[in-house]
């Protein structure tokens, strides 16, 4: 494979000679870090191979890394024509991240490291290359099989700390919970999987109903050896967390539910029509442009400009990458369809089952949420008088990104109260 600069990635896997070309400041340090990497990688990154990763240090130079299906890594100077992911930062930041001295997640949240392309692959790259012993707070990637599904996840925090399993929303990945993972990992063991059908997880043809996700979640927690843990979820992840609390009341210590998606109480006249719309039709290409995806993402926030453009770029890149794959589209529409079709009342109805939720629960709503109106909160309180329900002012559907400090104060206070027996 040749890059735009004529670099042959299939040739000799050696660093260029120091006298082969002029170097900008910082290039030598980055070369040294990359040269110290093993010839063969292991772990979750090989599940995504073959993969081409671009490391862009700006004026200091650019590297292309190619990982084949056996985990063999080829390195070369130059640019790649179509890399799956580009990681861009100044040389010092790249050296610190790739040597394990700094967390790439922290650098991304600070705006010092930019990602274009597959955000999930970027998280795997750090875990594969930064092999030195790192602080426990730094997120690390791994993979486990649950419910017959290969499930990649991030884990961070002290291994003996209270456990929080964090579940993302519809059309997102575990990256949508990075602010919460980083915040709680200071003193909690946080585990954030890609839900089946999303991110870089397997995408089976399945129902993607709350019951189906609930079975997967229980098997995921079994595979992780978790006996006592908190569940935290945003949007669809919040609904799955509720299902987990109903299925595992003796294991779930408490629930943190950020704008969870409950069953529709009204507008159910279209249920017969939606049942006829098969998600398998999504095997056909979807004409979704980048501008429409960006506009849709911005509508999730009360004040869109609170988030930097680089975060929108990374999120939209990942969404479009998944939606270009037929199985990704089918999974997305299957899950979205089930949100509307879920029964509201009756023996299997959400609102008649909700009063049976035993673990303590914190519900957080946004007063400018266009997807899950905060008016659901009064119905939740009627069903669960003992829960805590908070409406955040001037907030949309993703509070952990839009108002992270306020959101995490609420989360921490709730976790501490439950841990203290409150």
Q: Which of 167, 163, 168, 170 minimizes the C-alpha distance to 184?
A: 163
Bridge partner list, 390: 364
Asked if residue 166 lies in contact with residue 177, where contact means CB atoms within 8 angstroms, the answer is yes
Q: Listing from the earlier edge strand, what are the strands of the sheet with 51-56? A: 73-77, 62-67, 51-56, 85-89, 113-117
pTM of the shown model? 0.90
d(CA 230, CA 346): 28
d(CA 364, CA 234): 9
Q: What is the pLDDT of residue 20?
A: 35
Q: What is the pLDDT of residue 26?
A: 67
d(CA 408, CA 70): 41
Residues in contact with 395: Cβ distance below 8 Å, sequence separation at least 6, in sequence order: 302, 366, 367, 368, 369, 402, 403
Asked if residue 374 lies in contact with residue 389, where contact means CB atoms within 8 angstroms, the answer is no
pLDDT in tens, 157-180: 999 999 999 999 999 999 999 999
d(CA 161, CA 157): 7
Asked if residue 394 lies in contact with residue 406, where contact means CB atoms within 8 angstroms, the answer is no
d(CA 101, CA 95): 8
Q: What is the pLDDT of residue 349?
A: 94
Task: Give backbone dihedrals phi and psi of 33, rounded to 5 degrees, phi first.
Answer: -65, -45
Distances from the Cα of 410 to the Cαs of 52, 262, 371, 388, 403, in angstroms? 41, 21, 22, 10, 11
d(CA 96, CA 98): 6
pLDDT one digit per residue (tens) for the chain, 422 residues = 333 333 333 333 333 333 333 344 467 888 888 888 888 888 888 888 899 999 999 888 889 999 998 889 988 888 888 899 999 999 999 999 998 899 999 999 999 999 999 998 999 988 888 776 889 999 999 999 999 999 999 999 999 999 999 999 999 999 999 999 999 999 999 999 999 999 999 999 999 999 999 999 999 999 999 999 999 999 999 999 999 999 999 999 999 999 999 998 887 777 777 777 777 777 777 777 889 999 999 999 999 999 999 999 999 998 998 888 899 999 999 999 999 889 999 999 999 999 999 999 999 999 999 999 999 999 999 999 999 999 999 999 999 999 999 999 999 999 999 999 85
Q: What is the pLDDT of residue 9?
A: 38
Q: What is the pLDDT of residue 5?
A: 36
What is the b/e burial string over 46-72, where b = at least 16 CB atoms within 10 angstroms of the residue's CB? bbbbebbbbbbbeebbbbbbbbbeebb
Distances from the Cα of 337 to the Cαs of 170, 207, 273, 299, 316, in angstroms? 11, 9, 11, 20, 21
Q: What is the pLDDT of residue 49?
A: 86
Number of CB atoms found within 10 A of residue 230's CB:
26
Cis peptide leading into residue 86 (ω within 30°): no
């Amino acid at each position: 494979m040749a890059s735009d600069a004529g670099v042959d990635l299939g040739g000799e896997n050696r660093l260029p000679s120091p006298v082969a070309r002029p170097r900008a400041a910082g290039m030598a340090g980055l070369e040294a870090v990359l040269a110290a990497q093993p010839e063969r990688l292991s772990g979750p990154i090989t599940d995504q191979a073959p993969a081409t990763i671009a490391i862009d240090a700006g004026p200091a130079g650019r590297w292309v890394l190619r990982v084949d299906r056996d985990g063999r890594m080829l390195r070369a100077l130059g640019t790649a024509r179509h890399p799956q992911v580009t990681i861009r930062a100044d040389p010092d930041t790249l050296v610190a991240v790739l040597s394990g001295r700094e967390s790439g997640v922290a650098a991304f949240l600070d705006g010092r490291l930019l990602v274009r392309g597959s955000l999930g692959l970027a998280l795997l790259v750090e875990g594969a290359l930064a092999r030195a012993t790192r602080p426990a707070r730094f997120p690390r990637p791994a993979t486990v099989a649950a419910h017959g599904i290969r499930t990649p996840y991030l884990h961070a925090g002290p291994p003996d700390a209270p456990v929080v399993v964090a579940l993302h929303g519809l059309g997102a990945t575990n990256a949508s919970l990075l602010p919460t993972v980083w915040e709680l990992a200071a003193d909690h063991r946080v585990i954030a999987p890609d839900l089946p059908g999303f991110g870089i997880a397997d995408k089976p043809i399945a129902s993607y109903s709350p019951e189906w996700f609930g079975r997967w979640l229980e098997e995921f927690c079994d595979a992780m050896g978790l006996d006592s843990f908190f569940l935290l979820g945003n949007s669809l992840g919040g609904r799955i967390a509720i299902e987990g609390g109903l299925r595992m009341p003796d294991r779930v210590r408490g629930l943190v539910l950020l704008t969870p998606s409950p069953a529709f109480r009204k507008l159910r006249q279209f249920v017969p029509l939606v049942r006829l719309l098969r998600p398998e039709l999504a095997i056909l290409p979807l004409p979704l442009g980048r501008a429409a995806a960006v506009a849709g993402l911005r509508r999730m926030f009360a004040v869109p400009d609170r988030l930097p453009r680089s975060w929108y770029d990374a999120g939209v890149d990942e969404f479009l990458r998944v939606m270009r794959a037929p199985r990704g589209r089918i999974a997305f529409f299957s899950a979205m369809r089930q949100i509307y079709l879920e029964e509201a009342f009756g023996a299997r109805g959400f609102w008649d089952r909700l009063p049976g939720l035993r673990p303590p629960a914190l519900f957080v709503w946004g007063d400018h949420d266009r997807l899950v109106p905060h008016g659901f909160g009064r119905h939740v309180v009627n069903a669960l008088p003992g829960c805590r329900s908070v409406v955040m002012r001037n907030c949309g559907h993703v509070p952990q990104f839009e108002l992270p400090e306020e959101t995490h104060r609420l989360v921490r206070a709730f976790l501490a109260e439950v841990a203290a027996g409150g």
